[in-house]
Chains A and B, each alone.
Chain A
Amino acid sequence: MTEAVEHPFAKYLRAAMMPHIWCSGCGNGIILNAFVHALDELQFDLDKLVVVSGIGCIGRAAGYTNVDSFHTTHGRPIAFATGVKLAKPDLEVVVISGDGDLFAIGGNHFIHAARRNVGIKVICANNFNYGMTGGQVGPTTPLEALTTTTPYGNIEHPFNLVHLAAASGATYVARWTTLHVRMLTMSIKKLLQRKGFSFIEVVSPCPEIYGRHNKMRTGLEMMEWFRKVSVIANFSDPSKAEITPERIVVGEFVDIEKPTYEQLLYSKMAQIANEETE
C-alpha cells in the first residue's frame, strides 16, 4: 500500500468546495492555478491575504481559495475591498472577478479605486461575455461578435481594459491570455509585490458559451486563436493595445510607483494625532 500524498497546492484550495462549477475548456482554472503558483513561489503568508470576488463564473474563485474570502454582490468587490484595505492596510486584498462585474456594473468603482491608488490588486478574467447567465454581450465583447443578446452581431465598441486602467491611474497594468501561463504567473507575483492599485487582465477562453456562438467551440480552438494572434509588446502604448480577431496585444504596460491612498491616509492621521498631543 502506498500512502496517499497530499497535492502540494492542496493547502491553497478548499477541497470542500470541489468540484468547481467551471465548464471544460474554461480559462478560469488556469487563472486560479497561476494565482496559486504565484502565492507558492512567493511563500505568501496566507493569513495576510483576503480574496474578494463579485458575481460571475470567476466570482467563485474567492470561495475556492483557502484564505479569508468574500463573495460580494454583483459589481461591488472593489468597493468592498477598499473598506477591507483601509481598515487593515497590512492585509493583501486581491479582487478576482470578471469583465462584466468589474467594467459594466462595477466600472465606476474600478476607475475611482485606481484614481485614489488604493493598494488593492485586481485580476480580471476577460471572457468577452456574461458566461454565467448564458452568454450575453458585455463591455469587452468585440464588434460584430455574436452573443445571445447580439444575435445580429455586436454594434458596441468594447473597452480596452489596460488603457482604461492606465488612464485611471493604476500603478501596475498587464494583459496576458491564459496561454501565457508563465508570464501571467510572473505578473501575478509582481502584482502581489506592488504597493499601489494593480491590475491584470487575463484574456480567457469561454468555449462553452462565447466560443459556441463565434466558431470556436472548444477551449483548444480559442487557445489556438490566442497563440496565432498574440503579440507581446511590453511597455508599449496601452491605448494601442488592441484585441481584435487578428491581433491581441499582451504584455506589461505600466509599472510605476506613487503614494497609495492608505499611505497618505495613515500618514495624515499620524500627523493630526501628533498635533493633537502637542
Chain B
Amino acid sequence: MAEKKAVLTGVHFMSGDIACAEGALAAGCRFFAGYPITPATEIAEHMAARMPKVGGIYIQMEDEIASIAAVIGASYAGLKAMTATSGPGFSLMQENIGLAAMTEAPCVIVDVMRGGPSTGQPTLPGQQDVMQAKWGSHGDYEIIALAPSSVQEMFDLTIEAFNLAETYRVPTLVMADEVVAHMWERVVIPPAEEIKIVNRKRPNTPPEKYLPFMPDDSLVPPMACFGEGYRFHATGLTHDEHGYPRTQDSEAQTRLVQRLCDKIRKNADKIVRVEEAMLEDAEVVVVAYGIVARAALSAVRKAREQGIKAGLLRLITLWPFPEKHVAKAAEKAKAIIVPEMNCGQMVREVERAAKTTPAHHVLKLGEEPHTPMEILEAIRRHI
C-alpha cells in the first residue's frame, strides 16, 4: 500500500511529466536527482515542488552523470530513487546505468525521448532511444524498460517501474516520448490503499553471515543498505557473493554476468506486459508502443471497418522483449506492421520473434507521430 500523504487521490487533468512525478511519489520515491533537459524538465520542476512536502529529497546536480550516480548512492542508502532526462542526458547516464546493473541498485530512469541523434529536435517526439535502453552501457546485462502511451500510463507505469526495480534489483527505464510527456489528459489517481507497492527484499541473516550478492531462488540477492550495521562492500568490478573483486576469475565472471541476465530473462513471463486488440483472427498485426500505439489502434479499427482483419499488439514492456506474444500473433498473420518514430529499431526484434512472417517498418521522423491514416495505408499495402 502506498503512503497516504504522497498520493493525490482523485481525478486530475495533468501533463504526462507531472503524472510521471506523481506516480513516482505514490510508488514511494523519496529521492530525485536530475538536470534540466527538454522535454523532461517538468518532471524535475514538479519534484522540486512536491518532494519536500512528502519528506523526500530533490537535488539538481551538475550534470546527468552526477544525477544517476547520486541516485545509485541514495538507493544504496535505502531510498527509492529516480532521475529523468532525454536523449543527450540518457547518453551521459549510460556508464552508470551499467554500474546500477552491476551493483544491482534498484532505481528508475525516465527517458522522455525526443528527436536525435545528438541535440536533434529537443521539442519534438522520437522513439530513437529504445535500442540504447537495452544496449546503451557496455558489457552484458539486462534492464527492464516500459513504454507509456498515455498520461494515465505515465502515472501507472512509473509505479510499476519502481515495483519492478525493487523486485529484481535492476535499473528500470520508463521510455516515454515528448507527446505523452507534454500532453494533458485525465488521470485517475486511486486511493493509497489500492496502489500495490513492492519494497526490496531485505536480508534475514545477521550482519556477520550476510553475503550481499548471494541470490535467493528468484536469482535476486536480498539487499541491506548503508548504515544498518552490515558493513558490506559493493563494486563495479566483477565480484563474488561477498562483493569482493574477482578480476582474474573467469568462473566468477560467468556466474555473475549470467545471473544478472538470467534474473530478468528467466522471470520475463512475470515481467512482460502487452495490450492486445482484435488479434484473434488478425491477418495483419500492427506492433506498436508509446504514443504511436494510439494512432495504430485507430488505424486497426478503421481497417476493420473496411473489412480488413487487422489487430494491434501494443508493447507495454519493451525490455525484456515480449517475444512470445509477438511469435503468437505472427503465427496466423500474413504481415506485421511496425510503425516507429525512428529508422527501424524494435522492428528488428519483431522480425526475430515473428520468424517467417514478414515485418514492415513504417518510418516517421520529426514533426508529429504517425497519423492513423499513415498506418492504415501501410496495413492496406501489405494485406
Question: A residues near B, CB below 8 A?
Answer: 14, 16-17, 46-48, 50, 52, 60, 62-63, 66-73, 75-76, 79-88, 90-91, 108-109, 112, 265, 268-269, 272-273, 276
Contact = CB atoms under 8 A, between A and B. Distances in A.
Given A46-B231, A82-B73, A73 B96 contact: yes
- Chain A to chain B: the 4 pairs with minimum beta-carbon distance, closest first: A83-B73, A83-B70, A79-B69, A87-B77
Most chain B CB atoms below 10 A, which of A83, A86, A90, A112 = A83
B70 to A, nearest CB: 3
A91 B73 CA distance: 12
Interface in B221-236: 226-236
Interface string B20-36: 00000000001101000
Contacts of A66: 231
A108 B53 contact: no
Contacts of A60: 245
Interface string B72-98: 111111110100000000000001101
Nearest to B245: A63
Given A83-B31, A269-B52, A276-B53, A68 B59 contact: no
15 contacts: A14-B244, A16-B242, A60-B245, A63-B244, A68-B230, A70-B233, A71-B235, A76-B69, A82-B59, A84-B73, A87-B31, A87-B77, A88-B227, A108-B63, A273-B55
B61 A112 contact: yes
A108 B63 CA distance: 9
A71 B234 CA distance: 6
A72 B72 CA distance: 10
B6 interface: no
A86 B244 contact: no
Interface in B30-72: 30-31, 33, 52-53, 55, 57, 59, 61-63, 65-67, 69-72
A109 B69 CA distance: 10
Contact of B227 (A80, A91, A265, A272): A91
A200 B230 CA distance: 28
A17 B237 CA distance: 14
A70 B70 contact: no
B33 to A, nearest CB: 7
A85 B226 CA distance: 10
Given A71-B235, A87-B74, A48 B53 contact: no
A173 B306 CA distance: 76
Contacts of A88: 77-78, 226-227
B72 A83 contact: yes
A268 B227 contact: no
Contact of B81 (A16, A46, A83): A83
B96 A76 contact: yes
B58 to A, nearest CB: 9
Contacts, number: 138
B70 A82 contact: yes
A85 B69 CA distance: 12
B99 interface: yes
Contacts of B226: 50, 68, 84, 88, 91
Contact of B237 (A71, A79, A108): A71
B38 to A, nearest CB: 22
A16 B232 CA distance: 12
A68 B227 contact: yes
B64 to A, nearest CB: 10
Contacts of B96: 73, 76
Contact of A86 (B31, B69, B229): B31
B99 A72 contact: yes
B72 A80 contact: yes
A86 B227 contact: no
Contacts of A48: 227
B302 to A, nearest CB: 49
Given A63-B233, A63-B245, A84 B62 contact: no
Contacts of A68: 226-227, 230-233
A50 B33 CA distance: 20
A71 B233 contact: yes
A125 to B, nearest CB: 18
Contacts of B235: 62-63, 70-71
A71 B78 contact: no
Given A72-B99, A82-B70, A88-B77, A14 B233 contact: yes
Nearest to B49: A272
